[in-house]
Amino acid sequence: MGESEGPTRILVTGGSGLVGRAIQKVVADGAGLPGEEWVFVSSKDADLTDAAQTRALFEKVQPTHVIHLAAMVGGLFRNIKYNLDFWVGTRKVVSCLSTCIFPDKTTYPIDETMIHNGPPHSSNFGYSYAKRMIDVQNRAYFQQHGRTFTAVIPTNVFGPHDNFNIEDGHVLPGLIHKVHLAKSSGSALTVWGTGTPRRQFIYSLDLARLFLWVLREYSEVEPIILSVGEEDEVSIREAAEAVADAMDFHGEVIFDTSKSDGQFKKTASNGKLRAHLPDFQFTPFKQAVKETCNWFAENYKQARK
């Protein structure tokens, strides 16, 4: 794990979210290494927008490495400002960006060099500029402290422990919840928009395995896109069909074109990832959807929805 003096204590912020839970699972299933101590924290343990609480958390845990997943819509500039003070003693920090922070007007496929090439989409400029600042911060840390803090850029993540709320959630968990309701009431499934937009979906457990590789092996400051290939991009219609198949739903499917399609596509290149890990096996999309649907059915009561 790079500079490996002494024990390795990895603090995962946002530890109870979609990606945090997936990392907990792959570590519990045997992906942890001897000598690694994993500490997962959520907003219940410390409010990271509060400087004193964050300092107390870092003093208590004394992490050598941080996977920074905690995020808020709004307030992120404040996090970034304070986090600067706490992370100087940490050997490595891996933060999480998103493909929606890239310039609105761009060429495809998007790659890691393009983050700052133009304004983001107006619908999420606050979030995008805040996330872009993490990359600025990582470069500054390297320049000033020689630290190789970095960031990953996943495409659309889904899996167990996602937010299955129909109004607020993302498309796959939303569709899974909707199919569940359509089946129990015998009604049609309503997919929002035309079904033609295209997305690259990554299974949270695959992303978790890649996070561990980034933490241990990836030594660049420049971020890395974690995604399935361009050839594995699917339309929203195909995604809805995968959910319907997985849940054995044979009812009517309606496309509500009064709802927004959002960005038509944000196709990202996983060329850099493939250059490092040519043999990494992604879970086949249909299998990952099936596992997520099963998890939702088995955990219906506790699932966020």
Residues that bind ligand GDP (CB under 6 A): 100, 156, 170-171, 174-175, 178, 191-193, 197, 199, 236, 259-263
Closest of 82, 50, 46 to residue 61, by C-alpha: 46
Closer to ligand GDP by Cβ: residue 144 or 257: 257
Minimum CB separation of residue 42 from ligand GDP in Å reads 23
- Would you put residue 198 in left (φ > 0), alpha (ψ -120 to 50) or beta? beta
Q: What's the rounded Cα separation, in Å, for the pair 205 and 22?
A: 5
Alpha-helix runs per DSSP H in the chain: 18-26, 51-61, 76-86, 125-145, 171-185, 204-217, 236-246, 271-276, 285-298
On whether the CB atoms of residues 223 and 152 are closer than 8 A, the answer is yes
Which of 24/156 has CB closer to ligand GDP?
156
- Give the shortest CB-213-to-ligand GDP separation in angstroms: 24
C-beta closer to ligand GDP: residue 46 or 97 = 97
Q: Which is nearer to ligand GDP, 63 or 169 (CB)?
A: 169
User: Helix axis angle, 204-217 relative to 18-26, nearest 10°?
Assistant: 70
By C-beta, is 42 or 165 nearer to ligand GDP?
Answer: 165
Let me know: does 103 contact 109? Beta carbons within 8 Å.
no
| DSSP-assigned letter for residue 28 | I
CA distance 239 to 244: 9
Annotated active-site residue in 127, 141, 203, 218: 127
Query: To the nearest whole angstrom, how small is the minimum distance from the Cβ of residue 232 to ligand GDP?
Result: 15
DSSP string, 178-247: HHHHHHHHT--EEEES-S--EE-EEEHHHHHHHHHHHHHH---SS-EEE---GGG-EEHHHHHHHHHHHT
Please state the closest distance from residue 99 (CB atom) to ligand GDP, in A. Answer: 8
Structure-block tokens of residue 48: 């990271």
Q: How far is the CB of 36 from ligand GDP (least distance, A)?
A: 33
Among this protein's residues, is 218 annotated catalytic? no
Taking the complex as a whole, the smallest distance from the CB of residue 297 to ligand GDP amounts, in Å, to 18
Q: Which stretches within 234-284 are classed as H helix?
A: 236-246, 271-276
Query: Which residue number, 24 or 263, has a Cβ lying nearer to ligand GDP?
Result: 263
State whether residue 264 is helix, strand or coil: coil
Cβ distance to ligand GDP smaller for residue 42 or 263: 263
CB of 256 to ligand GDP, least distance (A): 8
Q: Are β-strands 92-96 and 150-154 bridged in parallel, bridged antiparallel, or unpaired?
A: parallel
Q: Which residue of the chain is nearest ligand GDP when measured via CB?
A: 193
Q: Quick check: bond before 109 cis, omega within 30?
A: yes
What residues act catalytically?
127
